[in-house]
Structure 1
Amino acid sequence: MSVRLVVRTLSELCITAGALIVLFVGYVMFWTGVQAEAAMDGEIRLLQDEWVAREQPPAEAPAQQPGQPSTQPSTKPSAPPPPPYRDGKGIAVMYIPRFGPEWDWPVLEGTRTGTLKKGLGHYAGTARLGATGNFAVAGHRRTYGDPFKDVPKLRRGDAVVLTDGTTWYTYRITGRPYRTVPTDTGVIDPVPRASGFDGPGRYLTLTTCEPEWGSSHRLIVWAHLDATRPVTSGRPAALNS
C-alpha cells in the first residue's frame, strides 16, 4: 500500500470522525433542547387541562319530589385524601424568578431518564408539595433545555414558586448552593442533612449536576415554605415583582 493511499485513508477517517463529533455536539447542545421544549410545553398543557377539568362544578342532584324520603346525607362528607402521585405524570409547575420571567417548568413524578427529558423530576418517596417533610426535585444542569443551568446564581431569600392548580406555594432559599457527591442521599431526607434545618418543617430541595458539563458531584439548594395562596386569589407577589 502506498504512502499516499495511507495518508488519504487516514484523512478521510479524520474528516468523518470530525463530522460525527460536530453532529453529536449539535445534538447535545441544540436538538435535545428543542425536544425538551416541546415535551415541557406538552406536559404543562396536560396539567392545565386537568386543572380546568377539576374546576368544573359537579352535576346537580335530581330534584327531590314532595313526600319522597331524602337520600342526601345529613352532614357533608369529609374531603377524600389526595391521590398518590403517578410515576411519570405531572404534579405541578415551578417558577424561579431569579432565572427570568419566562422560566417555568413542569414537575413530574420520578427521576427516570425519560422523565427528566420532559421536565423536572420529583424524588419518589419524598414529601408531597406543601406538606411536612422535604419536597425534593431533580433537574438537568445541561442538555434537555438546561433547566437548572443557573442554579449557582441562587441566593438566600430567592423565591421558588410552585402551583398544583389549586394553591400557590412560595418557598424561600435559605443559603448558597451546597456541593456534594451523588451518593449523598441524606440531602433529600425529611430533615435534609447539612441543610441547617434543625427539625421537621416544610422544605424544598433542588438537585442538579456539578460541574456544569459533568456529573461527578451534585449541587444542592434548600428552601423552606414561606407562604401559600389559593389560585383564586391571583398570582403571589414573588411572581409579580
Structure 2
Amino acid sequence: MTALRPERESGTSYGEQSYEGAGALGEWYEEAQQPSSYEPQGPYASQEPYEPYVPPADDETVALRIPDPPESISASEASSVTRVSDVTPGGRAARRKAAKRRGGRHGAGARPSTEPADDEESSAPLSRVEARRRAKARKPSPGVLASRAIGEVFITTGVLMLLFVTYQLWWTNVRAHAQAGKEASNLQEEWESGKRAPGEFEPGQGFALLHIPKLDVVVPIAEGVSNKKVLDRGMVGHYSEGALKTAMPSAKTGNFGLAGHRNTHGEPFRYINRLTKGDEIVVETQDDYFVYKMTSSLPVTSPSNTSVLNPVPPQSGFKEPGRYITLTTCTPEFTSKYRLIVWGKMVEERPRSKGKPDALVN
C-alpha cells in the first residue's frame, strides 16, 4: 500500500498502536471512546438540569375562552353565567327574573308555578255565576241551530229527490216490464187454449199484442188509456172512450189510435221517433195479424190536438178513408208538454192460421 501509516513500536501489535504526538486530535479520540458523563463545572455545578424555556400563555391568543363576568354582576351570580348569551342586560332586577326563568337564581331546579293548572281549574268549585256563564258559552247560538236545521232539511230533501228519481227512472220500468210480460204471456196462453173470443173488451183488459220489429218492441194492447189501469203497467192503451174513441184493427175503415209512455213505466214508445217511412208495425190478435207501414209523423203538436185521431187525420197526408194506425206519446223526453205522432197504413191482414207475416219472420 502506498498510503502513509504510523510506525509500529517494537513488541507491540498493530491493534495496540499508539498515537503519540497526535495532540488535541488524540485526546478527542480517547474521549469519544468513553461514555458521556458530562457534569457542569464551576459556579453552575449546583443548578437544576437544563430545561427549555416555555413562555406563559397569552390570553389574547387563545381561540375559545369564557369571558370574565361584567363588573355589574356579583361573584355569586357570575358562577351561574356559562356563556355570553346568558348575560341579560337591563339591570339586576331583570337579570334575576331571567335567572328564575332559567331555573333559579343559583341554577337550582325550576320552581313550581303558583298558577293553577287546567285540571286544577276544572276540579275547583265554581261560583253559580261562573257556572252559568260557562254553560251559556257552551250552548249553541240560535244562528248555529238554524243553520243545522236548514242543512238537515236540504240533506233530507236531496235524499228524497234521489230516491224519487231512482224510483221513476229505474224501478217503474222494472215493475212495468214484469206486469206487461205477464199480461202478454196470459194472452198467448188464452189464444192457444181458445178461452177468449174477439169482441168488446173492458177497460184495462188486454186484447192484442203490438210488434215494432225495428225497435224490438213487443207490448200488450189494453182497452182504454188510463194511467193506473193501462199505461203505468207498461202496456199500450187503445183510445176507446168518448170523443177519443177510435176504430179497432178489424174494422173495414177507421183509425186505430194507441197511446204509450215514452219515459218510465216500461217506456214502450220511447224511440218511435226513429221510425222511418216503410217501417212495419204489426198488431197481433187472437185470429189475425194486421200489418201496417209507417207513412208520416208529426214531431210536435199540442196535447189538445185530437184531430190526429180522426178517421182521416188532416196532417197525416191521407186523403180518403182507409185502415190507419196512429201512435201518440209525450215529447220532449221526460216531459209531457207536447205530443209526438206517428201514422201508418194497413198493407196486409193475415189470419193466424197462415202463420206469421214476413215482418215478424225476417
TM-score w.r.t. structure 1 length?
0.85
Task: Tell me the equivalent position of 2:346.
Answer: 225
Q: d(CA) in 1 for partners of 2:203 and 2:355?
A: 30
Q: d(CA) in 2 for partners of 1:4 and 1:43?
A: 56
Task: Tell me the equivalent position of 1:41.
Answer: 181
SS at match of 2:194: helix
The alpha-carbon deviation at position 177 of structure 1 amounts to 3.9
Task: Tell me the equivalent position of 2:249.
Answer: 129
CA contact (8 A) 1:130 1:225 kept: no
The alpha-carbon deviation at position 16 of structure 1 amounts to 0.4
The alpha-carbon deviation at position 55 of structure 1 amounts to 7.4
Q: d(CA) in 2 for partners of 1:22 and 1:153?
A: 30
Q: d(CA) in 1 for partners of 2:339 and 2:239?
A: 15
The alpha-carbon deviation at position 232 of structure 1 amounts to 2.1
The answer to whether residue 161 in structure 2 is matched with residue 21 in structure 1 is: yes
Task: Tell me the equivalent position of 1:76.
Answer: none
The alpha-carbon deviation at position 173 of structure 1 amounts to 0.3
The alpha-carbon deviation at position 47 of structure 1 amounts to 1.2
Task: Tell me the equivalent position of 2:215.
Answer: 99
Task: Look up the equivalent residue of 1:83 and give its one-letter code.
Answer: G
Q: d(CA) in 2 for partners of 1:111 and 1:9?
A: 44
Structure with greater strand share of residues: 1
Structure with greater helix share of residues: 2
SS at match of 2:173: helix
Higher relative contact order (CA 8 A, sep 6+): 1
* RMSD over equivalenced CA pairs, Å: 1.7
The alpha-carbon deviation at position 130 of structure 1 amounts to 3.4
CA contact (8 A) 1:151 1:177 kept: no
Which whole-Å deviations, capped at 9, do the CAs of 1:62-83 have from their partners, x for residues lacking one? Answer: xxxxxxxxxxxxxxxxxxx952
TM-score w.r.t. structure 2 length?
0.57
Task: Look up the equivalent residue of 1:128 and give its one-letter code.
Answer: M
Task: Tell me the equivalent position of 1:206.
Answer: 327
Task: Tell me the equivalent position of 1:184.
Answer: 305
Which has the higher mean CA deviation after the structures are superposed, 46-55 or 147-156? Answer: 46-55
Q: Given the superposition, is the C-alpha separation of residues 55 and 228 from structure 1 closer, same or farther in structure 2, using an over 3 Å criterion? A: farther
CA contact (8 A) 1:85 1:109 kept: yes
Q: d(CA) in 2 for partners of 1:176 and 1:82?
A: 30
Matched pairs, number:
215
**Unaligned residue ranges in structure 2 (runs of 5+):** 1-140
Select which of 192, 202, 206 maps to 1:90.
Answer: 206
CA contact (8 A) 1:154 1:177 kept: no
Task: Look up the equivalent residue of 1:116 and give its one-letter code.
Answer: L
Task: Look up the equivalent residue of 1:36 and give its one-letter code.
Answer: A
The alpha-carbon deviation at position 240 of structure 1 amounts to 2.2
Deviating beyond 3 angstroms after TM superposition, the runs of 4 or more aligned structure 1 residues are: none
Q: d(CA) in 2 for partners of 1:146 and 1:83?
A: 28
Task: Tell me the equivalent position of 2:280.
Answer: 159
Q: d(CA) in 1 for partners of 2:198 and 2:150?
A: 64
Task: Look up the equivalent residue of 1:215 and give its one-letter code.
Answer: S
Bigger CA radius of gyration: 2
**Unaligned residue ranges in structure 1 (runs of 5+):** 57-80
SS at match of 2:263: coil
CA contact (8 A) 2:237 2:260 kept: yes
The answer to whether residue 146 in structure 2 is matched with residue 6 in structure 1 is: yes
Q: d(CA) in 1 for partners of 2:212 and 2:298?
A: 15
SS at match of 1:93: strand
Q: d(CA) in 2 for partners of 1:19 and 1:240?
A: 48
CA contact (8 A) 1:156 1:176 kept: no
Q: Given the superposition, is the C-alpha separation of residues 15 and 55 from structure 1 closer, same or farther in structure 2, using an over 3 Å criterion? A: closer
Task: Tell me the equivalent position of 2:191.
Answer: 51
CA contact (8 A) 2:198 2:286 kept: no
Which has the higher mean CA deviation after the structures are superposed, 45-54 or 91-100? Answer: 45-54
The answer to whether residue 334 in structure 2 is matched with residue 194 in structure 1 is: no
The alpha-carbon deviation at position 50 of structure 1 amounts to 2.0
